[in-house]
Amino acid sequence: MTQAIPMTLAEKLVARAAGRESVRPGEVVTAKVDLAMMHDSGGPRRVAPMLERLQARLWDPDRVVVISDHYVPAVDAESAGILDLTRKWVKAAGVTNFHDMQGICHVVLPERGHLRPGLFVVGGDSHSPTGGAFGTYMFGVGATEMCGVLVTGEIWLRVPETILLHWTGRLAPGVVAKDMILAMCAKLGMDGGRYQAIQYAGDTVAGLAMQERMTLSNMAAELGAQTGLIAPDTVTRDYLLAAGVPAGEIELAAWQGDAAAAAERHDFDAATLSPMVAAPHSPANSAAVGEHGNVSVDQAYIGACTGAKINDLRMAAGVLKGRRVASGTRLLIAPASARTTAEAAADGTLAVLTEAGAILLSSGCGACAGYGAGVLAENETCIASTARNFKGRMGAGSSKVYLGSPYTVAASAVAGRIADPREFLA
Amino acid sequence: MSSAANNAGRVWKFGDNIDTDVLAPGLYMKSPLAELARHCLESVEPRFAKEVKPGDIVVGGRNFGMGSSREQAVMALRELGVAAVVAPSFAGIFYRNALNLGLLALVCPEAAQIRTDAVLAVDATAATLRDLETGKIYVCETLPAHLLQMIADGGLLPHLEKKLNAQRSKEAQA
């Protein structure tokens, strides 16, 4: 028996997809894609003309998932046309994994049982690293690159180094995964991930619920990483079983990496972390909530793939129960998926939110990227549970977006200014 | 005009972390490309889309193109006639998109030293830039062989087309 070369989780996942025993960071390999996910914006409307030009078919329609989430529901002839084209293309191409207006792709994909540890998946969206929370090697690509995958079932990549982001200690009440990732953005910067693979680890990460882990992996995009992995464990397995993945398809032991093989490591202390808020116009402009001074907010927004999962809505409800949104401030909530809304309705969360004066919006990418309902006017200020606060992203060019956890956004909605949620949770 | 001037362009300089939302604003993402391109970079430099000329060169800071996977960030620059994007580092998805769409993206460690009002001659094969006034040469990183081949074919789609056609004619002969 030869001694196995120590490999990180990322290296093991890439090696499997490349059909290799082992890989080394820096090598260029061709990987076989297990699943390709695309949405209505970067999907059919862009790839259909390319496939036509190539006169090519999908390499495997059963390995393609299409999710309409950007232009939903249609608000004008253009968006209606994009959704119509998506539906017609899916049918003609023989794609049966189609989730139309069921929620945001990064939340719907695991929710409907499409992910599991060990897979190699590409998504036509930059927040595709979200899949990394399940021990899936998942990353975002543009539409032309997606077309290449759809035709060949393959993609090239440079085997990434692994950057280990290691958290120990217990988070204080009111401090959550969103605060952890904003702290990491502040420390490492928007290119700290160097388009390599991030792996989140340590007892803090192991103690997080699946949806909280998804928040960390989701914002690996904001760290500039290719993917954001978390080694799968029983928390992963329990989520996947509930999503209908057969037990025999959930392997945990094979997808644990050797942490010592990581190229870079950063250590963080969870116990001393405060709720974090990112000032305009970058998630890297994050500091403890108390350091932002007196900032009044016109709009508070709980939405997007990052910050409107069921756990996020429950956090907001924890603050809003028995309280009202401040006069002069509007709180908009767009649950991340149809199932999220159903769960929130079933457990009473939804009633708490609406009784506090929250305005409920449909599930989709919506205001986060300036696509849908809830965009900002010139000079307005918003605090959002989303991932990005780039200039003009949520609407008018002069609008300002702060980022925080659902706790912090809800607390700010009640206060009418950026507020520390711990004052409301005591 | 000398041959060097034929592929020379004026420089438009930008800072670090130029993101895809300022390159291709979400508000115009469902508009035709020509309309979207009119808003390219407007929130950081309103003159850019109005005054940029075919052949001009965008010089960015670190992590150029961070954010979304939207290819329109590349397509808007191409639509405006931008000949090359130069930066000390690029966001991964933007970089892949640029090469896939045949927009020259050059990693230039010394990009910060390029003069704001420079006119640069681009040599794509050698991966160098030459300041026509000062004569200074900027050396950029060369690309791996498989990407050079793809760019030589005109981007990923023409590259795939060539491969598929070769495969089809082989099958027809068999």
What pLDDT digit, counting tens, does each position of A124-155 carry?
Answer: 999 999 999 999 999 999 999 999 999 999 99
Q: Considering only CB atoms, which chain B residues are within 8 Å of A79?
A: 30
Structure tokens at B20: 């895809």
> By C-alpha distance, which of A137, A119, A129 is closest to A250?
A119
Q: From residue A307, how far is each of A311, A342, A370 by CA, in Å? A: 9, 17, 16
* Candidate CATH numbers 3.30.499.10, 3.90.1150.10, 3.30.300.130, 3.30.750.210; the one for domain A278-425: 3.30.499.10
CATH (one of 2.60.40.10, 3.40.50.1370, 3.20.19.10, 3.40.1360.10) for B3-142: 3.20.19.10
From the list A313, A309, A346, the residue with the least C-alpha distance to A331 is A313
Nearest CA in chain A to B66: A224
Residues in A touching B95 (Cβ below 8 Å): 195
* A131 vs A103: CA distance, rounded Å: 16
Q: Using CB atoms, pick whichever of B31, B69, B164 lies closest to residue A42.
A: B69
Mean predicted lDDT score pLDDT of chain B: 93
Helix and strand numbers, DSSP H then E, in chain A: 15, 18
d(CA A396, CA A280): 13
CA distances from A346 to A25, A310, A341, A342, A351 (A): 47, 11, 9, 6, 10
Region A318-347: what's the mean pLDDT?
A: 98
Query: What tens digit of pLDDT does each residue of A74-112 get?
Result: 999 999 999 999 999 999 999 999 999 999 999 999 999
Is A188 in the B-facing interface, judged by CB distances under 8 Å? Answer: no
Nearest CA in chain B to A74: B30
pLDDT computed for residue A154 by the predictor: 98
Identify the residue among A59, A196, A379, A393 best suited for mutation to test binding to B, counting B beta carbons within 10 A and taking the highest.
A393
Structure tokens at A148: 């290449």
Structure tokens at A151: 């035709």
Q: Which of these, A265, A287, A318, A270, lies nearest to A402 by C-alpha position?
A: A287
Task: Determine the Cα–Cα distance for residues A132 and A119; give it in Å rounded to an integer.
Answer: 10
pLDDT of residue A2: 55
Mean pLDDT by 10 residues, chain B (174 residues): 61 97 92 96 96 98 96 97 97 97 95 97 92 97 85 91 93 88
pLDDT of residue B152: 80
> pLDDT value at position B6?
53
Report helix, strand or coil for A396: coil
* Closest-CA residue to A43 (of A65, A73, A76, A59): A65
Q: Where in chain B is the domain with CATH 3.20.19.10?
A: 3-142
CB-closest option in A142, A191, A375 to B71: A142
Closest partner residue to A144 among B17, B29, B71, by Cβ? B71
**Mean pLDDT, chain A, as a whole number?**
97
CB contact under 8 A, A54 and B63: no
H or E stretch at A84: helix A77-93
Residue B35: Cβ within 10 Å count: 10
The answer to whether the CB atoms of A50 and B71 lie below 8 A apart is no
| Annotated domain spans of chain A | 9-268, 278-425
Q: Which residues of B touch A144 (CB under 8 A)?
A: 71, 97, 100-101, 155-157
Q: What are phi and psi of A220, to 5 degrees?
A: -60, -25
User: Cα(B138)–Cα(A332) distance, rounded to whole angstroms?
Assistant: 50
The string of DSSP codes covering A262-285 is -SEEEEEESTTPPPEEEPTT-TTS
Distance between A226 CA and the closest CA of chain B, angstroms:
7
What are residue A29's phi and psi, to 5 degrees?
-125, 160
Write out chain B residues lying below 8 Å of A389, CB-based.
Answer: none
Interface of B with A in 79-108 (CB under 8 A): 89, 91-93, 95-97, 100-101
How does strand B57-59 pair with strand B84-87?
parallel
Domain A9-268: which CATH number of 3.30.499.10, 3.60.40.10, 3.40.50.80, 1.10.260.40:
3.30.499.10
